C-alpha cells in the first residue's frame, strides 16, 4: 500500500505457492513459481499488531500493507495487516542477525546459549528485562515474560544472573546424580518441575497447541479464551511497574531489589473477592465502597491498548479541585491582607466568622 513502510517486492508470477517457516519472532515466506523463474523470500517481523488475513481482494481490511492475490474468480488476497505499522518485512531469506536460537524450535540450543553466556552484561539487568533480549530469548515477549515469572513466583526485578546461575548449578547437580537419564525421563522431570528456561519453551507452546487459535484477530471468542488463559498479564489484582525500557511488567508480590526507584506499584483497582459458589469472582471497586447503594458495574476487560496508555507518563493532577464556599458579604470592609492566602479556606471563614488576628 501507499503507506506501507516495507520495500517493494520484485516478484511476479502467473501461479506460485507460498510456504512459511518461523524462528523466534520472525516469519519467512517463500514465494515459489509453479513455472520457470526464481523464488523470492521475505522475512517478516510483526511488531504489536501485525498479522496475515485471507479476504476478498475487492474488500481488503484497513492497513493491508502487502497483498498476495490469488488467480481465482473473484480473486482473494492474503494480506499483511498492521494497524500500528511497527511490523516490517525485508527481502531475502536471512534471519535478523544477533537473534539467538528460537525458544520453540531450537530449545536445547537456546538453553545452552543462555547458560554458557551468563557473564554477558545482558544478565546484569533485572530478569524481566533480560527476558526481552532477543539475543538470548528469541521469541519471548511482554505477556510471555509476565506469565513465566508469575508461575515460578520469581520477582521481576531480581537480578537475571542470580536467577539463572541457580539453574546452572541445579543442572550440573542433576547430571552428576543421574548421568544415565533417558530422554523420556528428562521430559518427565521437565513437566513435573519446570525451571525458567523450560517454561520459556512450554508456556508459548500452550498458546500454539491450544484447540482454538487463541491469537486469531478475526474471532473475538478466541481472544476471550486467550484472556482466560492468562494468569498474570493484564489480570485484575496484579501489580505493574514500568521497566527501564518503558515496558509494563505485570506481577504479584514484591517486585525485587532492582525495581526502579521513585515508581510506585500500580495495582488494578478491582479487588477480587473469592466466592466458592460463583463461577467468576466477585468484583468490589473503590467506587462501590464509597457508594454502597449504587449497583457496582464489573470492570471492563483490559486491552493491550489500555496497557499501552498506562505505559505513557501520567499528567500531573490538577490542583485546587476543592470547592470553596464564598463568604457572605461583610458589613464592614476588611483590612487588606498582605500575606498570600492559603488555598484551603477554613470552615470558620466560610461561614463568615471572624478569624484569629
pLDDT, tens digit, 9 for 90 and up, residues 304-330: 444 443 334 444 444 444 444 444 444
pTM for this entry = 0.68
Of the two residues 231 and 170, the one the predictor is more confident about is 231
pLDDT, tens digit, 9 for 90 and up, residues 104-125: 999 999 999 999 999 999 999 9
pLDDT, tens digit, 9 for 90 and up, residues 251-260: 999 999 999 9
Is the model's pLDDT at 353 over the cut of 70? no
Burial of 114 (0-12, 13-18, 19+ CB in 10 A): buried
Query: How high is the pLDDT of residue 303?
Result: 43
User: What Rg do the C-alpha atoms of the chain give, in angstroms?
Assistant: 28
- Set out the domains of the chain in order of their start, with CATH numbers: 16-91 (3.20.190.10), 107-268 (1.10.8.50)
Distances (CA, A) of 94 to 47, 90, 118, 180: 18, 9, 27, 38
Of the two residues 97 and 190, the one the predictor is more confident about is 97
All three cell numbers of 124, joined, read 546484569
How sure is the predictor about 224, in pLDDT bands with cuts at 50, 70 and 90? confident
Distances (CA, A) of 315 to 85, 243, 304, 335, 338: 26, 19, 20, 39, 33
Element (H, E) at 201: helix 196-208
pLDDT, tens digit, 9 for 90 and up, residues 14-63: 899 999 999 999 999 999 999 999 999 999 999 888 989 999 999 998 89
All three cell numbers of 338, joined, read 498582605
Is the model's pLDDT at 169 over the cut of 50? yes
What contacts 24+ positions apart, CB below 8 Å, involve 258-261? 258/125, 258/126, 258/157, 258/158, 258/159, 259/126, 259/157, 260/157
Amino acid at each position: 500500500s501507499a503507506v506501507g513502510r516495507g520495500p517493494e517486492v520484485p516478484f511476479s508470477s502467473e501461479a506460485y505457492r507460498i510456504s512459511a517457516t518461523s524462528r523466534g519472532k520472525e516469519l519467512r515466506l517463500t514465494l515459489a513459481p509453479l513455472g520457470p523463474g526464481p523464488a523470492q523470500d521475505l522475512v517478516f517481523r510483526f511488531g504489536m499488531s501485525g498479522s496475515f488475513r485471507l479476504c476478498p481482494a475487492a474488500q481488503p481490511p484497513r492497513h493491508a500493507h502487502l497483498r498476495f492475490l490469488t488467480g481465482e474468480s473473484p480473486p482473494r488476497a492474503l494480506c499483511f495487516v498492521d494497524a500500528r505499522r511497527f511490523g516490517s518485512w525485508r527481502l531475502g531469506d536471512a534471519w535478523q542477525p544477533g537473534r539467538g536460537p528460537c525458544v520453540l524450535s531450537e530449545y536445547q540450543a537456546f538453553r545452552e546459549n543462555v547458560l554458557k553466556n551468563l557473564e554477558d552484561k545482558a544478565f546484569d539487568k533485572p530478569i524481566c528485562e533480560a527476558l526481552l533480549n532477543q539475543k538470548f530469548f528469541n521469541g519471548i515477549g511482554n505477556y510471555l515474560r509476565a506469565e513465566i515469572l508469575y508461575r515460578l513466583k520469581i520477582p521481576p526485578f531480581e537480578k537475571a544472573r542470580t536467577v539463572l546461575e541457580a539453574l546452572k548449578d541445579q543442572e550440573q547437580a542433576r547430571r552428576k546424580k543421574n548421568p544415565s537419564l533417558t530422554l523420556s525421563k528428562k521430559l518427565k522431570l521437565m513437566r513435573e518441575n519446570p525451571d525458567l528456561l523450560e517454561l520459556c519453551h512450554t508456556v508459548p507452546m500452550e498458546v500454539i497447541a491450544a484447540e482454538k487459535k487463541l491469537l486469531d484477530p478475526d474471532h473475538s471468542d478466541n481472544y476471550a479464551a486467550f484472556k482466560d488463559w492468562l494468569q498474570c498479564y493484564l489480570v485484575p489484582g496484579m501489580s505493574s511497574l514500568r521497566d527501564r525500557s518503558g515496558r509494563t511488567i505485570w506481577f504479584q508480590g514484591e517486585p525485587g531489589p532492582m525495581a526502579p526507584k521513585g515508581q510506585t506499584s500500580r495495582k488494578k483497582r478491582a479487588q477480587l473477592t473469592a466466592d466458592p459458589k460463583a463461577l467468576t469472582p466477585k468484583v468490589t471497586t473503590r467506587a462501590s465502597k464509597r457508594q454502597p447503594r449504587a449497583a457496582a458495574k464489573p470492570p471492563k476487560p483490559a486491552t493491550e491498548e489500555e496497557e499501552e496508555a498506562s505505559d505513557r507518563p501520567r499528567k500531573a493532577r490538577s490542583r485546587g479541585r476543592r470547592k470553596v464556599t464564598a463568604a457572605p458579604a461583610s458589613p464592614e470592609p476588611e483590612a487588606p491582607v498582605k500575606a498570600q492566602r492559603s488555598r484551603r479556606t477554613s470552615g470558620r471563614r466560610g461561614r463568615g466568622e471572624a478569624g484569629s488576628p
